[in-house]
Structure 1
Amino acid sequence: MSITYREGNDLDLDTVIELYRASTLGERRPIDDRRIMADMLRHANLVITAWDGDRLVGIARTLTDFSYCGYLADLAVHADYQRRGIGTRLIEETRRRMGPRSMLTLLAAPKAREYYPKIGFRQHESAWILRASEPFPVRAKEDAPEE
């Protein structure tokens, strides 16, 4: 097996969606909404892919400023190719392109929570998330108007 790594987000959408399905990332991404998936891919400014010949077997989709930080939005490796170092290499290639002073952040999938510490990631206790389905702003008690 000779895996090659490429940079770029000009990819066939059906091929990417199939990879998400085959990696289980599709369980947590809107793979049935082609418009959203296409936008996710198009607007990511750093995409590294892994190929076995002409078969897409891995992807790292990142949003970054290439100077200070980047968010690894998706890391997917086809189930048939997992535990072969492909995910780690995708992260290495991502970091190399982001620059030596740029940190990489991510939200780990439940099944991958044990993986990231093994390759050097540290859990951060002060990360926050506001989901699209949640109203904003939500008034805290101390911000509520007095009666």
Structure 2
Amino acid sequence: MTIQYLINTPISTNQFIDILCRSTLGERRPIDDHECMEGMVNNSNLLVTAWDGDKLVGVARSMTDFHYACYLSDLAVDRDYQRQGIGKQLQILTRQQLGKHCKLILIAAPAANAYYQQLGYAAIPRCWVLDAGQALEPS
């Protein structure tokens, strides 16, 4: 099996939903909201994909300014292809697209904490989330 990696090759919303479902990430994404998923795909500005022939087997979807911060929003690898280094290679290729001062930032599922730690990520407990529909409190 030879995996081919591509940078910013467009994928369809259905392909994106499918790879999320074939990974563990589909459980934590709004895969039943096609409009939202379409927006996620269309408004990303860095997409690294892994292909086994014409089958999408992995994706790293990011939003970045390429110079200071890159938010790796989705890292998904088909369950049948996990533990083969595909996720790590997707991150390496993502990192290679960024400037020398750019930080790679992600929010990990609790079960993935050990994975990211072994790759060299630092856990930083300063993340804050304002849920959709929640109003900012006046000061």
TM-score bucket (shorter structure): over 0.9
- Compute the displacement of 1:9 (Å): 5.2
Aligned to 1:54: 54
Which stretch of the first structure deviates more once superposed, 98-107 or 71-80? 98-107
Aligned to 1:95: 95
Q: Superposition pairs for residues 11-26 of structure 1, below 5 Å?
A: 11-26=11-26
CA RMSD of aligned residues (A): 1.2
Contact 1:9-1:46 within 8 A present in 2 as well: no
Secondary structure at the aligned position of 1:100 is classed as coil
Question: Gaps (5+ residues) in structure 1?
Answer: none
Aligned to 2:86: 86
TM-score norm. by structure 2 comes to: 0.95
Structure 1: distance between partners of 2:117 and 2:102:
18
Structure 1: distance between partners of 2:115 and 2:133:
29
- Compute the displacement of 1:135 (Å): 2.5
Counterpart check, 1:39 vs 2:49: no
Structure 2: distance between partners of 1:127 and 1:17:
26
Contact 1:17-1:26 within 8 A present in 2 as well: yes
| Larger Rg over CA atoms | 1
Contact 1:9-1:44 within 8 A present in 2 as well: no
- Compute the displacement of 1:12 (Å): 2.0
Give the ranges of 4+ consecutive aligned residues of structure 1 lying more than 2 Å apart after TM superposition. Answer: none
Aligned to 1:66: 66
TM-score norm. by structure 1 comes to: 0.90
Structure 2: distance between partners of 1:109 and 1:37:
19
Secondary structure at the aligned position of 1:98 is classed as coil
Q: For this pair of structures, how many residues does the alignment match?
A: 139
Structure 2: distance between partners of 1:127 and 1:15:
30
Structure 2: distance between partners of 1:43 and 1:14:
15
Name the % identity: 45
